[in-house]
Chains A and B, each alone.
Chain A
């Protein structure tokens, strides 16, 4: 495989893994933030939304400081698992998870919050546990929110630039992703290669959005009432 395809592959591997891991972490977080009341809830909520407004370089900078091999956490993870958290694929994966977090939780939370409370209560009066209600009643009825969350997370991770560059350092075959490649090709006036990357990303983004719209139309069960 040549460099072009390897770079694209890293982009998609990163987006794919980020989306899966974020769905597993984001679902319970979004559920708790939507339905439970607890102390410092607004602080937790602000922290999960922070990456939306924070410049990616600020996040990347603090990430480097927190997880570098000289830091406490960096040393600990390296010793325990033998994993380096900066300038490695695992590093950009963790950074992506942090950076894309709100893109998973926000659509899920708006889905949870707009779902009629009495349908949830109806399930409880029918003897269904909270977990069963979540998976058999709530999620099947907010499929479009789930789909939006997954698509946004995936697309956002594909398009990441600043954080991945700072944390990953653009190492070919390891942390160099398509969005960075385009920048580098343009820098070296290699427009032909840049075109190839850009066109593929453009087509995939367009295709994803069209599919999303089509599926969303099919998922409609009418209004809640």
Chain B
């Protein structure tokens, strides 16, 4: 079990915010913290990592106490078994891909290096320096480097937000592979709900430092309980009136989807809204590709 019970007063652009997070969580799950910028989600991750000290509280992972303000225990990040992936990669510019990963290992394990390079598809790039890589490639190195030390907890601070959609998808799959194959407990900070629905087992929605909702991602993000068979989450691009019906254009990752809606439905929607399209009972045409 992991117990995280921390408080910290933050000074944000919108004023003082008291950040509170008090949860006891099972290990080896994929958790996500969702919220807008300034909600304090990154700070929670940094407190778990030992990069930011909570004002008061308690962090216990398994049998190890990482932080206890009453007993004055504060383990530095070096002593916590964590892997941290930063939004802007934070690779060591003076080291090649291979050296970045090997530097992270306490003992040089070439077999594990091979495994990491294979999953992240970096084998051909292993002798390049960070400045010779694309954003997606850099973030793969950062991911492999964070895992090289075989951490118990993997902390991901909006790792994919700067990447294009295709790259984001590939990296999401790589993260899921590592999470499952290495029995990691993973915390993903994100403001992309579709990413969370795809990856996480459990999500905490943070608003101004407080958890306002928590649960399974599709239950949290989808208000109505529909026993849908197929669902697509996307963003409204266009709403067009055509005779008595409306045509809704939705972007779903790389795809553009058009659906017909009624005037009543169209009333509540505007461009930029996030929507879920669900089909209950239907007979789709299936093509093998």
Contacts and interface: CB of A to CB of B under 8 A. Distances in A.
Interface string B156-169: 00000000000000
B86 A122 contact: yes
Nearest to B87: A118
Contacts of A136: 103
Interface string A112-155: 00001011011111111100000011001100000000000000
A121 B49 CA distance: 10
B76 interface: yes
Interface residues of A, number: 21
A69 B286 CA distance: 98
Given A221-B129, A222-B129, A122 B90 contact: yes
Given A122-B84, A125-B82, A222 B51 contact: no
Contacts of A225: 88-89, 138
Contact of B90 (A118, A128, A222, A223): A118
Interface in A73-125: 116, 118-119, 121-125
A221 B86 CA distance: 20
A38 interface: no
Given A118-B88, A126-B103, A224 B93 contact: yes
B136 interface: no
A223 B76 CA distance: 29
Size class of the contact patch on chain B: 20 to 34
Given A126-B104, A126-B145, A222-B131, A121 B51 contact: yes
A21 B88 CA distance: 38
B92 A141 contact: yes
A129 B78 contact: yes
B223 interface: no
A119 B142 CA distance: 11
B94 interface: yes
B94 A140 contact: yes
Contacts of A124: 50-51, 76-78
Contacts of B93: 119, 141, 221-224
B84 A222 contact: no
Q: Which of A119, A124, A127, A224 has the most CB of B within 10 A?
A: A127
Given A141-B94, A221-B94, A222-B93, A126 B149 contact: yes
Interface string B72-109: 00001111101110101111111000000001101000
B83 A125 contact: yes
B130 interface: yes
A119 B92 contact: yes
B143 to A, nearest CB: 12
Interface of A: 116, 118-119, 121-129, 136-137, 140-141, 221-225
20 contacts: A122-B91, A123-B92, A124-B51, A125-B50, A125-B51, A125-B80, A125-B84, A126-B146, A128-B78, A136-B103, A137-B92, A140-B94, A141-B94, A221-B93, A221-B94, A222-B130, A223-B93, A225-B88, A225-B89, A225-B138
Interface of B: 49-51, 76-80, 82-84, 86, 88-94, 103-104, 106, 129-132, 138, 142, 145-146, 148-149
| Shortest 7 CB-CB contacts between residues of A and residues of B | A222-B131, A221-B93, A122-B90, A125-B84, A140-B94, A126-B104, A118-B90
Given A121-B84, A125-B83, 15 more contacts: A116-B88, A116-B90, A118-B88, A121-B51, A124-B51, A124-B77, A127-B79, A140-B94, A141-B94, A221-B131, A222-B129, A223-B93, A224-B93, A225-B89, A225-B138
